[in-house]
Amino acid sequence: MKIAIIGGTGDQGLGLALRFAQSGEQVLVGSRDIKKAENAVILIKDMLNNKDLPNVSAMTNEEATTNADIIILTVPLQAQMITLKSIKDHIQGKIFVDATVPLEGCIGGKPTRFVDLWEGSAAERSAAFLGKEARVVSAFSNISAASLTNINHSVECDCLISGDDPEANKPVMELAEKISGVRAIECGPLENARIVEKITPLLINLNIQNRIRLAGIRITGL
């Protein structure tokens, strides 16, 4: 399976690319700037101590989207729509995972505050824009980049996944559990992303208050 990380040069995208490459998945690191994508691939290989790592490649966002089986959007809120517009014609009914979190910090405010979107959540905004072009799933928004890039340790966090198509949710859940320490939990329809996305600013606040970087969430009793 080929996994495109759109915006793969940012912290979250780099962390996911790193973990999926480590697990043996074919990873396509996408960026608007191919040089940035190439630098990210070099960094991933260095972090995994394997300069000849064959399963990670640098591409433009459009190329990565075209060649992937699953597409994961990891750009900040302010870049969400412009990125969607650039790749929409290349999606063609594929599974599209939105990891965007509407944080006020993305638009000059506090990183611990959530931005209420007209559509309800960032994932729902992607679904509204893409229409039938994609099978949209919300995932990975509650897993911190710091945990993902802490490569010598398991990620102590559940991955909360929402989507209207169970057949699209399933491979995303399987992919999430390739990250050491992660348990995937299906949280119902896509509209529940508006709840899940609000967990991220809470975790950021906990990190700040406790002077830590790796706060995560576990669901018990399942």
CATH number (domain holding residue 196): 3.40.50.720
3 state DSSP class of 74:
coil
Closest CA to 64 of 29, 112, 33, 38: 29
pLDDT digits (tens, 9 = 90+) for 57-107: 999 999 999 999 999 999 999 999 999 999 999 998 999 999 999 887 777
Q: Is residue 146 part of a domain?
A: yes
Mean pLDDT of 151-167: 96
Q: How many folded domains does the chain comprise?
A: 1
> How far, rounded to the nearest angstrom, does the alpha carbon of residue 168 sit from its chain's CA centroid?
15
Task: Give the pLDDT confidence score for residue 89 in this predicted structure.
Answer: 94
> CB of 204 within 8 A of CB of 178?
no
Return the CA Rg of the chain: 16
Q: Is residue 173 part of a domain?
A: yes
pLDDT digits (tens, 9 = 90+) for 175-208: 999 999 999 999 999 999 999 999 999 999 999 9
Global pTM? 0.95
For residues 158 and 180, give the distance between their C-alpha atoms in angstroms, rounded to a whole number.
Answer: 11
Q: Which pLDDT band, with edges at 50, 70 and 90, does 32 fall under?
A: very high
Residue 174, phi then psi, degrees to nearest 5: -65, -40
